[in-house]
Amino acid sequence: MTPLASFWSGLGGQPALVTRVFPVERPGVLSSRLPVREFAGACVGVCALAAAELAARRTGGGEVPAVRVDDGAVATAFVSERHLRTDGRAAESFAPLSRFWRTADGWVRTHANYPHHRARLLAALGTPEAPDAVAAALAGRSAREVEETVTAAGGLAVALRTPEEWAAHEQATAVARLPLVERVRLDSAPAREFAAVDGGGPLLPAAGLRVLDLTRVIAGPVATRTLALLGADVLRLDPPGLPELRDQHTDTGFGKRSALLDLVGDRERFEELLAGADVVVSGYRPGALDRFGLGAEALAERRPGVVVAQLSAWGATGPWAGRRGFDSLVQVATGIAHVERGPEGRPGALPAQALDHGTGYLLAAGVLRALSDQAEAGGSRLVRVALARTAAELAAGAGDRVTGEPGTDLSPVPWLTERDSTLGRLRYALPPVDFEGGPRDWSRAPGAWGADTARWL
């Protein structure tokens, strides 16, 4: 079974619909020892197919539109943050303290892009904010000691593991029990009734749907950016006191609106938004929002028929479920960085933040399939994904053979475009989700973080 067919089956899709997907293969893009190109194409492919399926339902139930998965478009979108330009300025990349470091017995990777994470890392290590000082502090400690010390302080550091070491870890065992996309029916809410989609313009299968976006960084925002492409009114909410990275927000903010809302102080306003929401997407650590009454069951009780989509780094169960995590750190823990190591043994990385982007498209696909299922059988729905589970799927795709494709210098220009915005002139990657009659670009450019009013259109 191909990755696309396997992913589609896991989403509960009709197997025959896979024949509606037409790939355009470009061997050598996303070159890696692991099958990143095939994996990325499958993630985008099932998302586009789920969108096409829902579009067919909303236009009278005819044939599902043909889906095109072009490796060039996918590869460009999977590094969208690298292609972003704002008035010609390239996006800021990883911060100086977000990198690999040698330890006394191996390697550790830290993540310090956000100011509060950087402060916790430095406090845990007892060093000033200077790479040389951090390097000296880490050189005398074991990687696992650094991991535990920094994690206990609320910072982010993960020791490099081989695939075999990760497989023996209790968290890997917990993740292995999970489906790639977890799908749960929460109650017996009535079947969803969709209004017909206007056939005068691009097919927008999510038109008329309202999405509360409680996500940050890349994976969750990629999912909600995709739902916005498909016509949903996506309102991203962030707490006022938690900083966001400007370029990261721009890259994933296409099609959306962005507002600041205190879930405690502005609870009445949130409940008003929830009462009108069709989908709630959250990307905080498992349990982090439960104290605000924002667990899946609690949301479904107050808003019957809602689709709740949840994203985490390490999975909802296991000893690491409550830990913070990012794509780069999951690659290190799960053995991917070891597999991708360089000729001198230095840990490597995938050619894109493929766990983030791939998981984002899988999460969007899960939401779209949940909406289609609701039209048949009703019920509030829970869709759940985890970066660590996505990593396991990518690694499993290598089978018994870990080889690399020769790289290619394929130009990304066909899949880039420009437009004006309130932030300046933007150059950005076009969406890779492509089906016959569907949208080819977002209806609106991103705006400044938190600049919109917390209300539905």
Catalytic residue list contains 233: no
Beta bridge partners of 419: 426
Segment 279-305 shows an average pLDDT of 91
- The CA-atom distances, in angstroms, between 240 and each of 42, 85, 348 are 37, 26, 36
Q: Is 73 helix (H, G, I), strand (E, B) or coil?
A: helix
Predicted pLDDT of residue 111: 93
Distance of CA 15 to the CA centre of its chain: 25
Q: What is the pLDDT of residue 263?
A: 86
pLDDT confidence of residue 93 = 82
Q: Can you tell me which residue has the tokens 């998965």?
A: 69
Q: Are the CB atoms for 177 and 164 separated by under 8 Å?
A: no
The pLDDT, as a whole number, for residue 241 is: 83
* pLDDT 10s digits, 393-415: 999 987 644 556 677 779 999 99
- pLDDT-derived band at 199 (thresholds 50, 70, 90) equals low
Q: Which of 356, 409, 420, 452 is catalytic?
A: 356
Tell me the pLDDT of the chain averaged across its residues. 94
Beta-carbon-side half-sphere exposure of residue 29 (alpha carbons within 13 Å): 22
What does the block give as tokens for 121? Answer: 């890392």
pLDDT-based confidence at residue 113 (cuts at 50, 70, 90): confident
Q: In sequence order, what DSSP letters do the residues of 292-336 get, joined into one string?
A: GT-SHHHHHHHSTT-EEEEEESS-SSSTTTTS---HHHHHHHTTH
In this predicted structure, the answer to whether residue 318 has a pLDDT above a threshold of 80 is yes
- Which one, of 57, 17, 25, 395, lies nearest residue 5 by Cα? 17
Query: Which DSSP letter does residue 174 get?
Result: H
CA distances from 14 to 5, 203, 365, 373, 435 (A): 10, 21, 14, 11, 17
Separation between Cα atoms, residue 134 and residue 220, nearest integer Å: 31
Tokens read off for 389: 């589970």
Average pLDDT (375-402) is 89
User: Residues 162, 168, 172, 178: is their CA dihedral positive or negative?
Assistant: positive
What own/partner pairs with CB < 8 Å and gap ≥ 24 does 164-167 have?
Answer: 164/335, 165/335, 166/333, 166/334, 166/335, 167/335
- Rounded to whole angstroms, the Cα distance separating 265 from 394 reads 42
- In 13-89, which residue ranges form alpha helices assigned H by DSSP? 36-58, 71-77, 80-83
Closest CA to 167 of 175, 158, 178: 175
H helix or E strand, kind and range, residue 248: helix 246-252
Q: State yes or no: pLDDT of 338 exceeds 60.
A: yes
| pLDDT tens figures, 20-54 | 999 999 999 999 999 999 999 999 999 999 999 99
Kindly report, residue by residue over 433-455, the tens digit of the pLDDT: 999 999 999 999 999 999 999 99
Which has more confidence, 277 or 96?
A: 277
Percent of the chain whose pLDDT exceeds 90: 84
Lowest-confidence region among 124-133, 137-146, 312-321, 441-450? 124-133
**What pLDDT does residue 244 have?**
86
| pLDDT value at residue 401 | 45
Least confident segment among 111-115, 154-158, 346-350, 440-444 = 111-115
Higher pLDDT, 243 or 384: 384
